[in-house]
Structure 1
Amino acid sequence: MRKLGLIGGMSWISTSTYYDRINRYVRARVRAPASAPLLLESLDFSLVYRVTEDEGWEEAARIVTASAQRLEQAGAGALVICANSMHKVYNEVAASVGIPIFHIAECVGEKMKADGVTTAALFGTRNVMTESFYRKRLVAHGVDLLPPDMDYVEQLDRIIYDELMLGKVTRDAQRKLKTMITVKEQAGAKAIVLACTELDMVVDIDANVLPIYDSLKIHAEKAAEWILGAG
């Protein structure tokens, strides 16, 4: 098996889910007690938390780039950034290392294209929902994304940063997400993209009116397949 590097800590809660899912996938494909060869660097999230200004993103790029370079030097043959929003600095980070970094939106887009999904709604943090760095990758795979509802953008950003990234799961958040999904279905969406690695904490993937594309699950499976020699 090949050794994968994980840039985590953004948040550590979702990073632990990456670790769990990658190992479970590998064990299911190989045999017990097999486990995935991983290098994990968990960053201090307070250094890159809720970045909004250009200078902040420059610093975030520097921090994530340094992590990628350390993991490459430590022997990782490929990398994943265990967060959706931090893929805003993907190009800078990818250019700084000589090993592949699996872009989370590319993985989601490939899966949706294979499933024939052409219209979807995107749920995530403010920058993921409103900026082009993430959306354009899905569009390039033939997925037409509904325009972001700014009221939902505000609600989701608050739920993600003030609750889920702190490990807090509430019934109110679960109800709000269920309502949002129903409204998007009525607006013409044929699928929902959970473009935040914590949103599966409040969305029942298998009990909704629309197919749910969980970015963390898809990303982790892509990483596990690479570990096992695919791709």
Structure 2
Amino acid sequence: MKKIGLVGGISWSSTIDYYRIINEETNRLSGGLNYAECMIYSVNFQRFHTCNAAHDWDGSFALLLDAALQLEKAGAELILLCANTAHIVAERIAEKMQSPLVDIRLVTAAAIEQKKLKKVGLLGTTYTMELDFYRRTLRENGIDSIIPASKAERDFIEFTLLHELGKGILSAQTKKVYLRIAEALIEQGAEGIILGCTEIPLLIGQEDFSVPVFNTTEIHARAAVAQAMLSITH
């Protein structure tokens, strides 16, 4: 099994889930006391946030590339950027790596295609919802996406991701608002909901909806294990 490198800390609260899911999935597939060989480079989230807030994508790229290269130098053979927003610079990072990068957008699109859905609601950071890097990838895979129409709602999601979920704070009131926003997307024709920030699954999940929910943390982590285990089966 290939060694998995996680560019984490974006945020720490969801990186914990990545580590747990990767090891649970490895054990489910391998049995016994087998778990993943993996390593985490936890970046300082403040630096990541500062670059993003200024739309300094070169700064975000440099920060995440350094982490990915450090993981590769330490022996990682497969790299994950443990945040949807980080994939703004995913292609640029992949070009600089010797090891393959598992793209969260592509594996999420594949999961949606498996359900044969054509229109989904997308919840995430303002960057993920408002910039085109994520929705473009969905379109290229035949999937239409809609986001909350209200800027106030998008800003609420952004604020709570930073100041609640990203700090491990889970609020029942915030959950109610997220569910209301998602249900409005379903009423607009969304056949499923993408939890397009890796902190959102900490708050809401499949049990809260009647339509398919795409937990990008889980999808990404399991895809990494599947790719890492190709070295065993081939």
TM (norm. structure 2) is 0.94
Equivalence for 1:199: 200
Whether contact under 8 Å (2:65, 2:93) holds in the other structure is yes
Matched residues in 2 for 1:4 and 1:26: separation? 11
Matched residues in 1 for 2:77 and 2:39: separation? 10
Equivalence for 1:74: 74
Q: Note the 1:141-220 alignment, pairs <5 A.
A: 141-149=141-149, 150-220=151-221
Whether contact under 8 Å (2:123, 2:147) holds in the other structure is no
Encode CA deviations 1:88-121: one digit per residue, 9 max, x unaligned.
1112211111111011011100111121010111
Encode CA deviations 1:53-88: one digit per residue, 9 max, x unaligned.
24x321111011111111112221110000111111
Equivalence for 1:60: 60
Whether contact under 8 Å (1:181, 1:210) holds in the other structure is no
Equivalence for 1:125: 125
The one-letter amino acid of 2:123's match is: F
Please say if 1:100 is aligned against 2:95.
no
Structure 2: tracts of 5 or more residues without a match = none
Matched residues in 1 for 2:123 and 2:147: separation? 11
TM (norm. structure 1) is 0.95
Greater mean deviation of Cα atoms: 119-128 or 96-105? 96-105
The count of corresponding residues between Structure 1 and Structure 2 is 230
Three-state SS of the structure 2 residue aligned to 1:138 is helix
Q: CA deviation at 1:46?
A: 1.4
Equivalence for 1:134: 134
Calculate percent identity across the aligned residue pairs. Answer: 25
RMSD after superposition:
1.4
Three-state SS of the structure 1 residue aligned to 2:99 is coil
Going by fraction, where is helix more abundant, 1 or 2?
2
Matched residues in 2 for 1:12 and 1:185: separation? 30
Structure 1: tracts of 5 or more residues without a match = none
The one-letter amino acid of 2:36's match is: A
Equivalence for 1:40: 40
The one-letter amino acid of 1:69's match is: L
Structure 1 residues 45, 204: CA separation in 2 closer, same or farther (over 3 Å shift)? same
Whether contact under 8 Å (1:190, 1:210) holds in the other structure is yes
Equivalence for 2:88: 88
The one-letter amino acid of 1:46's match is: Q
